[in-house]
Amino acid sequence: MSQHAHDQFLRAVVVAAWTSAVFALIALVTDGAVGDFVGVALVGGLLLAGLLFAINRRSAPPVVTHDSFAGMTSSEMLNIAHVRVAGVGGLALVAFCVIVASQFALTAAAVTAGLIGGMATGWMLIRRRRHARRATA
pLDDT classification of 121: cutoffs 50, 70, 90: very high
Q: Which domain holds residue 50?
A: 3-58
> What pLDDT was estimated at residue 35?
67
Q: Which residues contact 25 (CB under 8 A, 6 or more apart)?
A: 38, 42
Among the candidates 32, 58, 84, a domain finishes at 58
Residue 67 lies in a domain: no
Residue 42 lies in a domain: yes
* Alpha-carbon span 47 to 40, nearest angstrom: 11
Helical H segments across the chain, by residue range: 3-30, 32-58, 74-78, 87-102, 105-136
> What pLDDT was estimated at residue 63?
73
**pTM of the full structure:** 0.35
> What pLDDT was estimated at residue 123?
94
> What pLDDT was estimated at residue 85?
74
* Alpha-carbon span 87 to 115, nearest angstrom: 22
Residues 28 and 82 in one domain: no
Residue 47 lies in a domain: yes
- Count of structural domains, the chain: 2
> What pLDDT was estimated at residue 78?
66
Residues 44 and 88 in one domain: no
* Alpha-carbon span 20 to 23, nearest angstrom: 5
* Alpha-carbon span 52 to 49, nearest angstrom: 5
With CA atoms as reference, report the closest residue to 85 among 72, 70, 97, 101.
Answer: 97
Residues 78 and 132 in one domain: yes
Residue 65 lies in a domain: no
